[in-house]
């Protein structure tokens, strides 16, 4: 069975205020073309269909259009909701849409209810695990406490139990939206951690033949049966070196996997540049970036006048301007953003406590209050996103 694995479309997202609507439409055109030309048997979309819980009309129209086109091809498609999606909104009409071969899996209570497909070698059970926010789904899985690993593990236990009751030789495919240990993140994924406990071990997915993962924006292989497709477009300059693609997965009769990457259209290359303003404006080595979307980090010791206006004369698509003066022995310069870059929310809060109380480490009770506070804020935000407007 040939599967096309994609994720993290983030329909409706812009790139530093630059509209990506046409680029996203071009990607969806490309996806439909690949499904048709590569004789794909099923499409797997592993979450973050939209960029926001309340997507704009243009994003909804893109999604509606691609649903109709995939349905007309007669190729089964399975979607799950990601942490950017409103599961309830994305899942509206799932029962009716499913009759057209487009299966929306957004309800945590249906993790063990597979979409059943079949080829000449027998049945394939496709299980859709929507993004599982621990504070919202623990009770549903009978858990008193626990983070992402616990709830995803409980969901996978249900999957394995259902699979064990199916005919021998049934192959199993899982879609999941999670941060799996060993994956490489970028700057454009919304943090799903509370105190750095978001990562789940790869062993959670033991017992299935292929796990189609979403959330991380870089295409990567954690194991032959465990892959991230990555986002089809770059959504931050940290993705400048990423090759945007989808996975074309061939699932053999014995459940073994062969996979190849199918490149996605690139609307415009990204070019992060770092140098003094004079060097950027005059040196020939930067000519190749003149037609790119550009991020500039100026290292001038003194901030130049009108830097953005001057940069755009050579690089008209300059979208972001940063300042990071070169450090000297007498005047070391390090911004707050640089000091906290890459840290989890709880770690930043701990650092603040140490800063305002020199020599006093945060106690276990204080850390508990902080963790509880972050969880409460996240839960409130998730609930608010799902309230009717």
- Are 319 and 16 contacting, i.e. CB atoms less than 8 angstroms apart? yes
CB atoms within 10 A of CB 22: 9
Looking at residue 197, its pLDDT comes to 45
Residues 84, 49: Cα–Cα separation, whole Å: 8
- Are 220 and 180 contacting, i.e. CB atoms less than 8 angstroms apart? no
- pLDDT of 386 over the 60 cut: no
Confidence of residue 368 (pLDDT cuts 50, 70, 90): confident
Confidence of residue 101 (pLDDT cuts 50, 70, 90): very high
pLDDT in tens, 59-70: 999 999 999 999
- Radius of gyration for the chain, computed over Cα atoms and rounded to the nearest angstrom: 23
- The DSSP code for 333 is -
Confidence of residue 188 (pLDDT cuts 50, 70, 90): confident
Which secondary-structure segment (H or E) carries 22? helix 21-37
User: Measured between alpha carbons, how far apart are the two ends of the chain, in Å?
Assistant: 42
Q: What is the dihedral of CA 234, 10, 18, 326, to 10 degrees?
A: -50
**Weakest-pLDDT range from 133-142, 242-251, 371-380:** 371-380
pLDDT in tens, 45-59: 999 999 999 999 999
Positive/negative CA dihedral, 147, 153, 158, 159: positive
Which secondary-structure segment (H or E) carries 350? helix 345-356
- Are 154 and 132 contacting, i.e. CB atoms less than 8 angstroms apart? no
Residues 257, 208: Cα–Cα separation, whole Å: 11
Region 252-261 average pLDDT: 96
Both tokens of 133, joined, read 């926010």
């Amino acid at each position: 069975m040939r599967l096309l694995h994609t994720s993290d479309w983030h329909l409706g997202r812009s790139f530093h205020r630059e509209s990506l609507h046409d680029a996203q439409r071009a990607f969806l055109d490309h996806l439909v073309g690949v499904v048709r030309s590569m004789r794909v048997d099923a499409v797997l979309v592993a979450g973050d269909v939209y960029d926001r819980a309340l997507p704009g009309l243009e994003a909804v129209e893109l999604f509606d259009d691609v649903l109709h086109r995939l349905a007309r091809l007669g190729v089964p498609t399975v979607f799950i909701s990601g942490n950017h999606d409103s599961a309830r909104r994305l899942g509206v009409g799932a029962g009716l849409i499913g009759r057209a071969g487009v299966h929306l899996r957004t309800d945590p209570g249906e993790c063990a209810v597979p979409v059943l497909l079949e080829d000449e070698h027998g049945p394939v059970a496709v299980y859709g695990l929507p993004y599982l926010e621990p504070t919202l789904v623990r009770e549903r899985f009978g858990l008193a406490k626990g983070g992402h690993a616990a709830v995803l593990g409980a969901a996978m236990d249900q999957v394995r139990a259902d699979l064990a009751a199916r005919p021998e030789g049934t192959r199993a495919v899982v879609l999941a939206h999670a941060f799996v240990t060993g994956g490489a993140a970028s700057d454009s994924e919304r943090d799903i951690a509370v105190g750095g406990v978001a990562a789940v071990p790869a062993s959670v997915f033991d017992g299935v033949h292929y796990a189609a993962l979403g959330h991380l924006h870089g295409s990567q292989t954690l194991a032959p049966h465990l892959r991230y497709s990555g986002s089809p477009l770059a959504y931050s300059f940290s993705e400048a070196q990423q090759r945007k693609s989808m996975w074309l997965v061939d699932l053999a009769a014995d459940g073994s996997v062969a996979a190849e990457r199918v490149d996605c259209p690139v609307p415009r290359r990204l070019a992060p540049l770092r140098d003094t303003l004079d060097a950027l404006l005059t040196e020939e080595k930067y000519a190749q970036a003149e037609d790119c979307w550009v991020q500039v980090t100026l290292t001038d010791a003194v901030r130049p006048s009108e830097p953005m206006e001057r940069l755009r004369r050579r690089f008209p698509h300059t979208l972001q301007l940063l300042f990071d003066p070169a450090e000297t022995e007498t005047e070391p310069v390090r911004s707050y953003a640089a000091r906290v870059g890459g840290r989890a929310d709880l770690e930043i809060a701990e650092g603040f406590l140490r800063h305002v109380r020199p020599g006093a480490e945060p106690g276990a009770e204080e850390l508990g209050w902080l963790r509880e506070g972050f969880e409460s804020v996240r839960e409130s935000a998730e609930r608010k996103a799902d309230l009717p407007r």
